[in-house]
């Protein structure tokens, strides 16, 4: 079946770890997922950073290495092709921190939970995040900011505010169609976006192999793997 997109439609896409699953990157909540091997509290909170920055860098260096070795899959390419067709009427908001959307050609894209390929000062010194793809085997390899703060992953930890929330709220309010791909709907505020979209009258469609926790908010749930569903959904099959 094909997603009908009219000339006046504005499409907001939210993606999660599931869209990178067919690229070989583990999701969070699968039994062999990321949280199976690590406790969130030990690697993805400000307290974890303060208590044991070496462990946080070990986790995110491993994630960087896996993302660098992975390749975009047909789902990423389908979204990039959709952008070529819709232009500024499409925005992809990803919860993912890998760069597979960019490497597939998406440019109208924002990373609400940060990016593996960047690091930033651990202090609020005002200096912007820097491109950084290094793998840190030990803490003494991690550089410092000119202000003296240590570099940390440019990742939104639990308890920290997601990035670009004003832009997200503006784009969701203007959207006539919201497509959510490969996310369990277990983390907020991302899991609320579908409710915000419904309130402004948008169609809401979910694509994934299992129903998300917020399934009742979707006008349509299409069961299947993103790499198989999206090309046909966008009429690119
Ligand atoms: C905030 C870091 C305040 C980078 C991440 C109690 C109640 C409500 C909320 C809270 C609460 N206690 C605490 C909170 C807030 C907390 C939260 O939501 N906790 C949860 C656990 C309850 N949230 C926060 O702290 C956030 N900040 O709230 O600040 C605020 C609020 C509003 C406005 C301003 C300020 C910050 C959260 C960010 C945490 N960082 N990532 C990294 O390490 O990657 S979260 C991380 O997990 C991801 O980024 C993603 O967002 C999230 C969920 O992961 P998913 O992408 O959904 O992956 P998952 O494994 O869960 O699911 C995979 C899905 O893919 C499955 O559905 C599967 O079926 C599907 N799939 C599998 N294969 C395929 C597929 N789909 C398609 N194709 C396939 N082939
Ligand atoms: Zn600094």
DSSP 119-187: EEESS---PPPEE-----SSGGGS-B-TTSPBEEEEE--TTSPPTTHHHHHHHHHH-SEEEEES--S-S
> Measured in angstroms, how far is the CA atom of residue 169 from the centroid of ligand 2?
29
Query: Which residues of the chain are in CATH 3.40.50.1220 domains?
Result: 1-25+72-113+162-237
Interatomic CA distance for residues 32 and 75, integer angstroms: 22
> If pLDDT is split at 50, 70 and 90, which confidence band does 1 have?
confident
> If pLDDT is split at 50, 70 and 90, which confidence band does 45 have?
very high
Interatomic CA distance for residues 54 and 140, integer angstroms: 9
> Measured in angstroms, how far is the CA atom of residue 119 from the centroid of ligand 2?
11
Residue pLDDT, tens place only, 154-171: 999 999 999 999 999 999
> If pLDDT is split at 50, 70 and 90, which confidence band does 100 have?
very high
Q: Judge if pTM exceeds 0.95.
A: yes
Determine if ligand 1 sits within 6 Å of the CB of residue 184: yes
CATH annotation of 27-69+115-155: 3.30.1600.10
Find the mean pLDDT for residues 105-127: 98
Find the mean pLDDT for residues 47-63: 97
Residue pLDDT, tens place only, 173-207: 999 999 999 999 999 999 999 999 999 999 999 99
Least confident of 23-32, 51-60, 67-76, 138-147: 23-32
> If pLDDT is split at 50, 70 and 90, which confidence band does 50 have?
very high
Q: 115: helix, coil or strand?
A: strand
How confident is the model at residue 148, as a pLDDT?
Answer: 98
Q: Which atom of ligand 1 is nearest to the CA of 75?
A: 78
Mutate to test the pocket of ligand 1, among 158, 209, 227 (most ligand atoms within 8 A of CB): 158
DSSP state of 87: G
Peptide bond into 104 cis (omega under 30): no
DSSP state of 85: H
**Degrees to nearest 5, angle at CA 172 with 212 and 5:** 85
Fold of 1-25+72-113+162-237: Rossmann fold (3.40.50)
How confident is the model at residue 38, as a pLDDT?
Answer: 85
Nearest CA, atom 57, ligand 1: 183
Determine if ligand 1 sits within 6 Å of the CB of residue 171: no
Nearest CA, atom 11, ligand 1: 188
> If pLDDT is split at 50, 70 and 90, which confidence band does 46 have?
very high
Q: Closest Cα to residue 194, out of 208, 182, 211, 177?
A: 177
Q: Which atom of ligand 1 is nearest to the CA of 35?
A: 60
Determine if ligand 1 sits within 6 Å of the CB of residue 215: no
Q: Is 113 a catalytic residue?
A: yes
């Amino acid at each position: 079946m094909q997603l009908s997109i009219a000339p006046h439609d504005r499409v907001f896409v939210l993606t999660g770890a599931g869209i990178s699953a067919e690229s070989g990157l583990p999701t969070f909540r699968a039994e062999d997922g990321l949280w199976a091997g690590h406790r969130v509290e030990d690697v993805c909170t400000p307290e974890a950073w303060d208590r044991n920055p070496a462990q946080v860098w070990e986790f995110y260096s491993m994630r960087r290495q896996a993302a660098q070795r992975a390749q975009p899959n047909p789902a990423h390419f389908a979204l990039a092709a959709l952008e070529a067709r819709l232009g500024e009427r499409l925005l992809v908001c990803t919860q993912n921190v890998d760069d597979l959307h960019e490497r597939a050609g998406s440019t109208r894209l924002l990373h609400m939970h940060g990016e593996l390929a960047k690091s930033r000062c651990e202090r609020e010194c005002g200096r912007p995040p820097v491109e950084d793809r290094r793998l840190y085997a030990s803490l003494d390899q991690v550089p410092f900011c000119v202000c003296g703060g240590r570099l940390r992953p440019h990742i939104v930890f639990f308890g920290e505010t997601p990035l670009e929330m004003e832009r997200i709220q503006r784009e969701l309010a203007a959207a006539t169609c919201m497509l959510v791909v490969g996310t369990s709907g277990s983390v907020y505020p991302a899991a609320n976006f579908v409710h915000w979209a419904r309130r402004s009258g948008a169609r809401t469609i979910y694509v994934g192999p299992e129903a998300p926790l917020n399934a009742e908010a979707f006008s349509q749930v299409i069961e299947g793997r993103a790499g198989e569903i999206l090309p046909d959904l966008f009429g690119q099959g």
